[in-house]
């Protein structure tokens, strides 16, 4: 009778990552970092969806929900490259990158974007405002806060 082999995991030393992606490249928190991340995610004035998914550690379904489009929209390249979809993706990126320095990083900025109520907008989140096409109002609000205004 043959004896079953036991599984023994082998611990291999991790090799350093060659490409760390937009999140791990620079020190987070500076304006240069936010603009560099934004530039890396934009290619030909289009948001590179796969890079965005890796940077924010989100699935296509999560990103679609965040920007207010159907899940199927981001599954097809033609729909993902549509002007409305690209506009919403760019607006979300601009706001998240603008806040990342204050929030402590990209992930924290995304959490703020999705869940933090903004008192100036009646307790609505930045996500709900961008879904309605009011990203300019959110950017103006953030400009005011950056200049020392009240929330």
Q: Give the Cα separation of 107 and 121 in Å (integer).
A: 23
pLDDT tens per residue across span 8-60: 555 555 544 444 444 443 344 444 555 555 666 666 778 888 888 888 889 99
Q: Identify the band that residue 151 occupies on the pLDDT scale cut at 50, 70 and 90.
A: low
DSSP the chain: -PPPPPP----PPPPPPS--HHHHSS-TTSHHHHHHHHHHHEETTEE-HHHHHHHHT--HHHHHHHHT--GGGGTSHHHHTSHHHHHHHHHHHHHHHHHHHHHTSHHHHHHHHHHPPBGGGTTB-HHHHHHTT-HHHHHHHHHHHHTT---
| pLDDT given at position 64 | 92
Given a cut of 70, whether residue 6 has pLDDT beyond it is no
What does the pLDDT read at residue 40? 64
- Give which of 39, 149, 34 is closest to 103, Cα–Cα: 34
How far apart CA 34 and CA 14 sit, in angstroms, is: 29
Of 52, 85, 91, the closest CA to residue 69 belongs to: 85
In this model, does residue 124 exceed pLDDT 90?
A: yes
Q: What predicted TM-score, i.e. pTM, was given to this entire model?
A: 0.69
Q: Mean pLDDT score of the chain, rounded to an integer?
A: 79
- The answer to whether 116 touches 106, Cβ cutoff 8 Å, is no
Share of the chain above pLDDT 90, in %: 40
Mean pLDDT along residues 111-126? 93
């Amino acid at each position: 009778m043959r004896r079953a082999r036991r599984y023994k995991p082998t611990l291999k030393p991790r090799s350093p990552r060659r490409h760390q992606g937009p999140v791990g490249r620079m020190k987070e928190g500076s304006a240069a970092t936010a603009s560099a991340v934004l530039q890396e995610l934009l290619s030909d004035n289009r948001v590179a969806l796969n890079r965005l998914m890796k940077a924010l550690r989100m699935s296509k379904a999560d990103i679609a929900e965040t920007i207010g489009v159907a899940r199927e929209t981001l599954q097809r390249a033609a729909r993902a490259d549509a002007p409305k979809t690209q506009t919403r993706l760019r607006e979300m990126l601009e706001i998240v990158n603008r806040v990342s320095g204050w929030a402590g990083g990209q992930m924290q900025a995304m959490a703020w974007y999705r869940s933090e109520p903004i008192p100036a907008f009646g307790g609505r989140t930045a996500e709900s405002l961008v879904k309605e096409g009011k990203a300019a109002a959110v950017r103006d609000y953030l400009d005011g806060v950056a200049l020392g205004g009240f929330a």
